[in-house]
Amino acid sequence: MLAERARAASHGLALATRAQKDRALEAMADALCTHEDAILAANAEDVARAEDGGAPPNIVDRLRLTPERLAGMAQGLREVAGLPDPVGEVVRGSTLANGLELRQVRVPFGVVGMIYEARPNVTADAAGICLKSGNAVLLRGSSSASASNAAIVAALRSAVADAGLESDVVQLVPADSRDTVKELMRARGLVDVLIPRGGAGLIRSVVEESTVPVIETGVGNCHVYVDRAADLDKALAIVVNAKTQRTSVCNAAESLLVHADVADAFLPRVVAALQDAGVTVHGDAAFQALDGVVPATDEDYAEEYLSLDISAAVVPDLEAAIRHIRRYSSQHTEAIVTEDLAAARHFTAAVDSAAVLVNASTRFTDGGEFGFGAEIGISTQKLHARGPMGLPEMTSTKYVVTGDGHVR
């Protein structure tokens, strides 16, 4: 039902001009401000329910909206209005030998389903990115944020209608039962793509059960490899930044590999710096020679901690580092620290991850850092989009071919 209304509304949105869509985005931003009281009151309900239910402080914090956070959401919508419209972009084109004019043009998917966890800001962000890319969106947030999401979507829908587009291009899917997720996953033909954002369990279940095509996002067991030819000062700064600058995000480093030739020089420094920052190092035998390092198991090397923990191992050479990464990585982001061009070239060619960095923190794998302006998630799959997904990644293409009575 919701999906059918989204499909019907998507036809008009696909033909909307950039000017119409940008007007709607500005109206959506304004509406978040004019509906501030209602949204914050609804959010207070969600926060009270979470606290009554004993939710941990970090979860409550992710759920909580403030006037500043709401203003940030509005600002995000205005920034999306300022980005180029991906729809209509000619990806390639040529005139064929027989005179046919061929153009491959970006078009919206049609209907996008977002399935995500607590943060209510995702509701506005996803609605804005989908609208700008010409897609109707079905938003299936967490039940813990249901009052907040309802208030936000009510504001956005009224703004969309005021701006002259169909309000059904933005719809909230009830979060009262898991059945609504199942319906989205079975809505083949009505929903064109599902994007799950959240923990590994959520993403795995959507990937396995959905008959609608899925774009996997965000699980990051990211590695930093410190090569024999590393500048150890840069290595130290990069490891500490990648692990500690923000621990709860998918591009935080979770595992450290160090070439044996620099282990004696680097291990004491890096372990001390990590421990000073509050990090527990789960290491192999070489690391365990240092005070406070706890033994790493196979599970540690496979773990996305999202906390002040890091797994660590010494490797005999570059090839061993690549093999370790091949075995344990979630193919999100890996970094090498080296001054050796051949090592950098081989690592970037042989490591099969969405982003491979040389002498830079894994934290740079991000749509904002990459200059994309807006990001709906970071794809860790190989089909369609890989890495940070901006507006162009929210489109498909079609071929438009113009002739003058051409037959074969």
Q: Using CB under 8 A, list all residues that contact its own copies.
A: 11, 14-15, 94, 96-97, 100, 102, 104, 107, 109-110, 188, 192-193, 207-208, 211, 213, 215, 231, 233-234, 237-238, 241-242, 245, 326, 344, 348-350, 352-361, 363-365, 369-371, 381-384, 386-388, 396-408
The greatest distance separating any two alpha carbons of the chain, rounded to the nearest whole angstrom, comes to: 80
With a CB cutoff of 8 Å and minimum separation 6, the contacts of 128 are 25, 28, 76, 77, 80, 374
- Enumerate the β-bridge partners of residue 314: 258
| Separation CA 25–CA 60 (nearest Å) | 28
CA distances to 45, 47, 148, 313 from 53, rounded to whole Å, are 12, 10, 17, 40
Nearer to its own copies, 1 or 408 (CB): 408
| Separation CA 258–CA 39 (nearest Å) | 49
Nearer to its own copies, 112 or 153 (CB): 112
Least separation in angstroms between residue 356's CB and its own copies is 5
Nearer to its own copies, 32 or 126 (CB): 126
Least separation in angstroms between residue 141's CB and its own copies is 23
Q: State phi, psi for 384 to the nearest 5 degrees.
A: 75, -65
Look up residue 363 and give its DSSP letter.
G
Nearer to its own copies, 65 or 138 (CB): 138
Check if the beta carbon of residue 361 is closer than 8 Å to that of residue 333.
Answer: no
Is the C-alpha dihedral spanning 37, 119, 196, 147 positive or negative?
A: negative
Least separation in angstroms between residue 365's CB and its own copies is 7
Nearer to its own copies, 176 or 404 (CB): 404
Least separation in angstroms between residue 355's CB and its own copies is 4
Scanning the structure block, which residue is given the tokens 């005070």?
291
Least separation in angstroms between residue 182's CB and its own copies is 15
Least separation in angstroms between residue 50's CB and its own copies is 30
Nearer to its own copies, 19 or 407 (CB): 407
